[in-house]
């Protein structure tokens, strides 16, 4: 279906680059909800398939040690070491398996991201230019998962370190409990209790943080790879950071900066980074097109100007001002918070709540790609 022509008389028009920035912010909102879904999925796997088995075995092994009489002799030391080795194997292999589940999902996320970028570029580009954008090959996208470093290391290494740190947390907690002669319930509580300092809760926080950061890495690298495939149309990449008041100083300093494709800092700049990027298209003049060859609406849309910085609050107000896009405010905030937003409550008041989860399939429906 052909896109509707731009109207010049009687209304302000969005340029192609303004549309791309707006789409990038909406997409980032949905991706935050995807991160929540994926983190919950991985944590649920650990709780059901790893933690329960580990605690059962821990209780049994500690019981056998205490039944034989606890002392600091070599026999007891060997039994404790054997027990720690066994439970470390459980947590280590469990975290590694969880990482394999995530890696499988990341491959699909990379494919979706590249398809979405091409769809968005196509929708923003006037039909008169007759531009066809290219999607990266599956091999290029798979390289993001296997070879592209995230903050200095590939995802496989990050997963290995997460597994090793989980083993160390568990070993230390159990060893302290045994040395101090704690009861079995107290040792189990040290490992699996509701307290935020328990081993399992520390592991869950680390896994969730890693999951969210890995998705950010894959999304941004898949986008960059797509832009590199279409670099003849793209003049630069805009760093988009101001989603809400939780934005870090690192990303605040980069917000609105424009870099060449393939150059400059990119998200994630830190763990749990929520920043994103948006492409900026070249102007019709930069593309070497003569004014006589394209209609006035196309020239106005393809002016090549990079939009000014836009906060999440700005974007929500813009979406809410148009009846055709008001549903995006409900999608982003939920109906109750959207009602408060329309009553004048700043979006910054809502940022302590987690975004409700969205699967990749649900995102594809919302973004018209199903």
pLDDT value for 76: 63
According to the model, what pLDDT value does residue 8 have?
Answer: 38
User: Is the predicted pLDDT of residue 248 greater than 90, yes or no?
Assistant: no
Question: Is the pLDDT reported for residue 10 higher than 50?
Answer: no
Alpha carbons 153 and 165: distance in angstroms, whole number: 16
Residue pair 43/207 in contact by the 8 Å Cβ criterion: yes
Parallel, antiparallel or unpaired: strands 276-281 and 234-240? antiparallel
Tell the residue number behind the tokens 């849309």, with chain if given.
301
pLDDT computed for residue 1 by the predictor? 43
Structure confidence at residue 72 as a pLDDT band (50, 70, 90) = low
pLDDT of residue 69: 52
pLDDT band (50, 70, 90) for residue 85: confident
Confidence of residue 11 (pLDDT cuts 50, 70, 90): very low
pLDDT of residue 68: 52
- On whether the CB atoms of residues 238 and 256 are closer than 8 A, the answer is yes
- Mean pLDDT over all residues of the chain? 87
Q: What DSSP character marks residue 279?
A: E
Given pLDDT bands bounded at 50, 70 and 90, which one contains residue 245? low
193, two tokens: 């209790």
Mean local confidence (pLDDT), 85-97: 88
Q: Which helix (H) or strand (E) holds 276?
A: strand 276-281
Q: List the beta bridge partners of residue 153.
A: 150
In angstroms, rounded to a whole number, what is the distance separating the alpha carbons of residues 128 and 140?
Answer: 30
Could you tell me which residues are beta bridge partners of residue 226? none
Structural contact between residues 234 and 290, judged by C-beta atoms closer than 8 angstroms: no
- Give the global pTM: 0.89
Please tell me which residue, 275 or 14, carries the higher pLDDT value. Answer: 275
């Amino acid at each position: 279906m052909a896109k509707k022509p731009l109207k010049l008389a009687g209304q302000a028009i969005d340029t192609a680059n303004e549309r791309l920035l707006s789409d990038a912010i909406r997409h980032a909102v949905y991706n935050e909800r995807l991160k929540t879904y994926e983190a919950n999925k991985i944590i649920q796997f650990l709780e059901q398939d790893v933690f329960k088995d580990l605690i059962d075995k821990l209780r049994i092994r500690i019981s056998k040690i205490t039944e034989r009489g606890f002392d600091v002799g070599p026999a007891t030391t060997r039994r404790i070491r054997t027990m720690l080795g066994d439970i470390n194997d459980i947590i280590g292999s469990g975290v590694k398996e969880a990482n394999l589940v995530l890696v499988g999902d990341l491959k699909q996320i990379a494919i979706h991201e590249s398809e979405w970028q091409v769809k968005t570029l196509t929708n923003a580009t006037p039909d008169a230019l007759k531009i066809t954008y290219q999607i990266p090959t599956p091999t290029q996208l798979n390289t993001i998962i296997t070879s592209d470093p995230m903050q200095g290391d590939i995802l496989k290494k990050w997963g290995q370190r997460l597994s090793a740190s989980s083993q160390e947390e568990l070993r230390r907690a159990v060893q302290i409990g045994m040395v101090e002669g704690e009861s079995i319930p107290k040792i189990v509580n040290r490992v699996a209790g509701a307290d935020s300092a328990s081993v399992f809760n520390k592991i869950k926080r680390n896994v969730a943080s890693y999951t969210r950061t890995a998705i950010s890495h894959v999304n941004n690298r898949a986008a960059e790879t797509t832009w590199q495939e279409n670099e003849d149309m793209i003049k630069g990449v805009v760093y988009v950071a101001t989603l809400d008041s939780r934005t870090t100083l690192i990303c605040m300093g980069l917000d609105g900066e424009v870099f060449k494709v393939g150059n400059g800092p990119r998200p994630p700049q830190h763990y749990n980074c929520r920043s994103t990027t948006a492409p900026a298209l070249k102007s019709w003049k930069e593309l070497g097109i003569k004014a006589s060859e394209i209609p006035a609406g196309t020239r106005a849309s393809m002016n090549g100007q990079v939009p000014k910085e836009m906060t999440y609050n700005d974007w929500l107000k813009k979406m809410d001002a148009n009846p055709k896009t008001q549903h995006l405010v409900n999608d982003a905030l939920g109906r109750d918070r959207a009602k408060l937003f329309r009553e004048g409550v700043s979006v910054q008041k809502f940022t302590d709540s987690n975004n409700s989860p969205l699967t990749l399939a649900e995102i594809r429906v919302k973004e018209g790609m199903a």
